[in-house]
Amino acid sequence: MRPAPSVLWLFIAVLCLVGASAVHAQTTPLRLVVPISLDSPTGQNMREFARQVEARTSGGLRIELQASHRRYQEREVLAAVGAGQIEIGATPLTQFAEHVPLCAAFLQPFMFNFDALIEAATKHESEIRTMIDAEILRRTNTRVLWWEPYGSSILVTRRVPVNDPMAIVVRPVGAADEQAKELLSMCGGLPRSVLPSDASAALENGTVEAIATDIMTVREHELWRVADTITNLRHAPSLFMVVINEQTWQKLTPDEQVILTELGQDAQNYMWARFVTIRTEAYALAVEKGMRIVELRPQDIFAWRACSAPLLETYMNRAGMAGTKLFAAYGRLRTLPCCRDAPAEMPIMPR
């Protein structure tokens, strides 16, 4: 005897609900905090990563991007991921240096000062990257998924260039991280803590006369509205790190871990392939908005190197034996064809 149609449809509906619940239960959401606009090149890269993760895991993992509400500032992301308040976070390398002294190797003035060297040092399999990733995991409870280039270190001012460090002597200069503040102090400036989100207001109200920042911050926060000069210091690379909470990582299946690792490498490679274009466009936009770009002359570079030289000794004392091993790896990297010599000229815009 066949069941009545109403009973049959009820049975089908129950099966659909059970099936939907099962699919939902198999989906693991992972919140990814990006403390900058998702419309930025870095934000767009995160969007693509999220899309690829969901596709490769057939919906088993879903990356939930969180950026527009700015719940976390750059300096808060690492602690939030380490504590498990969020699963994944992206934040600048400078935010790791306080907790992981090895990270500050990339911030030593004029050491990692051209793209090929930086790209080689941050590759997934590189000796330097392996050492730093291990220290990050040990000290912060976060695992690195990828590193990516972000921009170029600069000084932003109103009207007066600061290519010679004498130009900042006893002048208030803003910076978002301790390493930049140490550099400014060593070279005679009066450093002030200024977050990227506060850079425009600090320049406009005269709290600082210059900002040590990044070309992408000019774009992100429209600094051309309050400043008109960019001094292209390029003393250290600007890098973004993407990390995942270690307990979250351990709960993933081996296949999911492999997928996240592979897609992280893809995201890093993609940004390096586009980086020259992205950086050039950021400088071109600043020029279009009326800003002038000032390049360092050889004598300027010599002066900045001279006043900042003690920072390396301070760093080595702070990093200890691990720092010694890392600089040995740096020496070996500089013998490779990719990294022996910096380009004779490194224009940031087509001439």
Per-residue pLDDT reduced to its tens digit, 269-303: 999 999 999 999 999 999 999 999 999 999 999 99
Distance CA 230, CA 295 (A): 9
Does residue 14 lie in a domain region? no
CATH of the domain at 75: 3.40.190.170
Would residue 341 count as lying in a domain? Answer: no
Range of the domain at 303: 26-333
Residue 4 lies inside a defined structural domain of this protein: no
Beta strand pairing status for 229-232 and 142-157? antiparallel
User: How remote is the C-alpha of 271 from its chain's centroid?
Assistant: 11
Burial of 12 (0-12, 13-18, 19+ CB in 10 A): exposed
343 within domain boundaries: no
Ramachandran category for residue 212: left, alpha or beta (phi over 0 → left; psi -120 to 50 → alpha): beta
Let me know: does 248 contact 121? Beta carbons within 8 Å.
no
The 10 Å Cβ neighbour count of residue 325 is 15
Q: Is residue 223 part of a domain?
A: yes
| Rounded Cα distance, 284 and 96, in Å | 30
pLDDT at 184: 94
pTM over 0.85, yes/no: yes
What angle (nearest 5°) sits at the alpha carbon of residue 288, between those of residues 210 and 211? 10
Cα dist from 245 to 83, 189, 217, 330, whole Å? 8, 38, 27, 28
Number of domains in the chain: 1
Examine residue 221 and state whether it is found in any structural domain, yes or no: yes
In-domain check, residue 161: yes
pLDDT digits (tens, 9 = 90+) for 182-232: 999 999 999 999 988 899 999 999 999 999 999 999 999 999 999 999 999
Listed as ranges, residues in the chain with pLDDT below 50 are 8, 10-15, 17-24, 350-351
Q: What is the pLDDT of residue 208?
A: 95
Q: Report the candidate in 184, 196, 166, 171 with the shortest Cα–Cα distance to residue 303.
A: 166
Output b/e per residue, 158-188; b: 16+ Cβ within 10 A.
eeebbbbbebbeebbbbbbbebbbbbbebbe
